[in-house]
Chain A
């Protein structure tokens, strides 16, 4: 896993939690405060996100995040669409990992319909999820390094390296589904596209390249003194606060909490494989980086082993043929399914009333919970660190606002 010199052990001492609802006029009346609207259009806000930062000099005193600039009314839209029409809509929510979005809603429909997904389809879903995690973490690393800016030798260097490798994953998906993203490859009860011949070899070739280049990324980041200075101890998130906020995924594991739905509440075919969960101590930006790099390696290992052992014993769709889209009627009931996306727990709460349309479809996005940590961890840091902290949370505004 990680080399010895990066395994920093720290003890965590948290004495108090910042109250984000304190009025700004409770601050020192002598101070000259400045209100900075950070966003909604700013390259380092990772989309359309706005923070109202009250600054005392360079120090953030109070942060008021504002979301909703990409509120596309997905939940309302889903209420008037038939079940099979929803898959391509939710693709657009988390547009860095669309595969997992499709899986989340289709799993909820399958749960209420009582459909058994064939083993081969479950394996393909698992492989897709792991490849998607690699692509997503690569994009995160590239943009995070760009947030840290010129300190890393030109800023865009890591970004260009990561995008080069990300393209190879997108090529694999394109070969199966025909699209670079927004795949629409999952259906209720299985998958739409089967793996083409010779795909496994291409996957292994691409993974071998990426695996060989991970040391390069680490060389550019974790071996860089400036990178370490700008991430170590920056944006510390206490474990209890992370749990209270509902923070999941790599952010939670970076707080030292050993929790991963792939292992703890298995879905797809994760009950048939061993998932090694990466954790790190400290809860700072460096710990998040360490966790994501370890997950990158673990995903490569999982995808490689699974693409070899892909079962041939079943089709990729459940026996029941899906007829006209409107003819699917999900029986009345309620279901919650959750899966581990690159950003954490993506949940779907489905309320069906027995008709052709869902009565209520609530998507539980991991990024919204991650962003809600900002008012707690930003006060007291400099504005340059605020950029680093926001980048380390890996927010995707499409799923935050939906």
Chain B
């Protein structure tokens, strides 16, 4: 039998294997160019890497789940960049997150595509021009398909994926589908494009950060605890609260116009300790506020120097739960004694207020920034800072 490739009279390919294949029942054979095959394969196995950060991530989950089920078009969700073709950036990207997104994008093998899902990923939406949000991921990623919406419906994301399939097929056929860069658009985005790395960041800063992350401040194990809540709880009659009584005992005038009673900073911990013993066992929150200097209007109100107010909230547990709130007024730079030893929850709350408002807390075990990167220098919730602060530097 000759293996020479020839064509029969009808112009069909008559290799013996081909003939055997044709004779096999239930099998059909086609011939295509390699590019078509590639396009066919790529479009029908688009594996999605979910760069899901916020609300759009929930709709991305819904797209993969029961009702819409993108498995039908060969698209499955893979949690690792190394096995994925499409990165769907679903949600707001902050300056703290953006370097991670870039890193994950770089880890994805070629060929790869990117879908910007939702208005935050496209432009930053109403978080645009805020100090911590990247104004659209196309400032650092090449985006192929934009799916607008807040959040886009699962059907919209499905449509975006179908459009991406079309785009890939056209690309394989040699069509140029990458649009020309729009100079006007670049002009709009350029002023707020963040720097990709902070040139001022040194190795010493990294080391210092690691040291502070594992800072030794207290003994290895704290004292044994007396657990009051065990077994069957008499929680409903647990607490009889008398906040006003405690205030009177401390010599604080409870009657304050529009706001919680003012307590001197020196009595802050004492008051919290007493309230905890009284039954205000649950730590609710701490709110620091920056008040800029106010020049009083004549005869109407008094002028006030710049100061901070820190309000602490505690709550009783069980029936007819009550909240105790008091306020401490601090001069700029003055530190408030920390409640972290008394209430473990004060640890993170006070860190957040230090980070965002800039009120220092004395004796805090670990006073680091909570929300913003370690190398950020401003306290953005101060009232004398504009809302559209410069972006935080990227790490």
State the A residues within 8 Å of B (CB): 11-12, 14-26, 40-43, 47-48, 52, 62, 64, 67-73, 75-77, 79-80, 89, 92, 95-96, 139, 142-143, 159-161, 163-164, 166-167, 180-182, 238-241, 243-248, 255-259, 261, 263-265, 281, 332-334, 336, 338, 345, 347, 349, 351, 359-360, 362, 364, 368-369, 372, 376, 397-398, 401
Contact = CB atoms under 8 A, between A and B. Distances in A.
A21 B217 contact: yes
A164 B69 CA distance: 11
Interface string B47-78: 00011111101110110011100000000000
A259 B213 contact: no
Interface stretch (B126-134, B170-178, B182-190, B328-336): B126-134
B321 A261 contact: yes
Interface string B182-218: 0000000000000000000000000000000111111
A68 B95 CA distance: 10
Contacts of B235: 257-259
Contacts of A25: 214, 216
Nearest to A79: B387
B282 A15 contact: no
B150 interface: yes
A398 B55 contact: yes
Contacts of B258: 332-334
B323 A336 contact: yes
Nearest to B323: A336
B216 A11 contact: no
A156 B304 CA distance: 60
Contacts of A11: 230-231
A360 B289 CA distance: 7
Contacts of B92: 70, 72
Contact of A69 (B96, B313, B325, B342): B96
Q: Which 5 A-B pairs have the closest CB atoms?
A: A23-B216, A163-B65, A95-B55, A239-B229, A68-B371
B289 A351 contact: yes
B372 interface: yes
A22 B218 contact: yes
Nearest to B80: A43
Nearest to A11: B231
B259 A334 contact: yes
B23 interface: no
Contacts, number: 263
B228 A240 contact: yes
7 contacts: A48-B97, A69-B94, A71-B371, A73-B380, A89-B126, A95-B58, A243-B283
Contacts of B230: 11-12, 239
B132 A52 contact: no
Given A16-B224, A17-B225, A77-B387, A26 B55 contact: no
Contacts of B217: 21
B319 interface: yes
A244 B344 contact: yes
Interface of B: 50-55, 57-59, 61-62, 65-67, 79, 91-92, 94, 96-97, 100-101, 104, 126-127, 130-133, 150-151, 153, 213-225, 227-231, 233, 235-236, 258-260, 281-285, 287, 289, 311, 313, 315, 317-323, 325, 342-345, 347-349, 352, 356, 365-366, 369-373, 380-381, 383, 387
A76 B131 contact: yes
Contact of B318 (A52, A142, A259): A259
Given A71-B372, A349-B311, A244 B343 contact: yes
Residue picked from A62, A71, A76, A139, most chain B C-beta under 10 Å: A71
B218 A258 contact: no
Contacts of A181: 55, 58, 151
Contacts of B132: 71-73
A23 B238 CA distance: 37
Given A167-B66, A256-B229, A349-B311, A76 B213 contact: no
Residue picked from A47, A80, A360, most chain B C-beta under 10 Å: A360
Given A12-B227, A70-B94, A265-B320, A245 B221 contact: no
A244 B380 contact: no
Contact of B54 (A80, A92, A259, A351): A92
Interface of B is mostly: loop
Contact of B127 (A22, A72, A347, A362): A72
A401 to B, nearest CB: 6
A245 B344 contact: yes
A215 B371 CA distance: 41
A69 B297 CA distance: 43
Contact of B150 (A143, A182, A332, A372): A182
A344 B201 CA distance: 40
A73 B343 contact: no
B287 A64 contact: no
A362 B372 contact: no
Nearest to B236: A258
Contact of B282 (A42, A52, A73, A246): A246
A199 B258 CA distance: 42
A15 to B, nearest CB: 6
A182 B125 CA distance: 14
B369 to A, nearest CB: 8
A73 B386 CA distance: 12
A133 to B, nearest CB: 16
Given A15-B224, A246-B285, 15 more contacts: A15-B225, A16-B221, A21-B366, A22-B218, A67-B371, A92-B55, A164-B66, A239-B227, A245-B344, A256-B233, A257-B317, A360-B287, A360-B289, A369-B345, A397-B54
Residue picked from B285, B322, B383, most chain A C-beta under 10 Å: B285
Contacts of B352: 368
Given A69-B96, A180-B59, A182-B151, A246 B218 contact: no
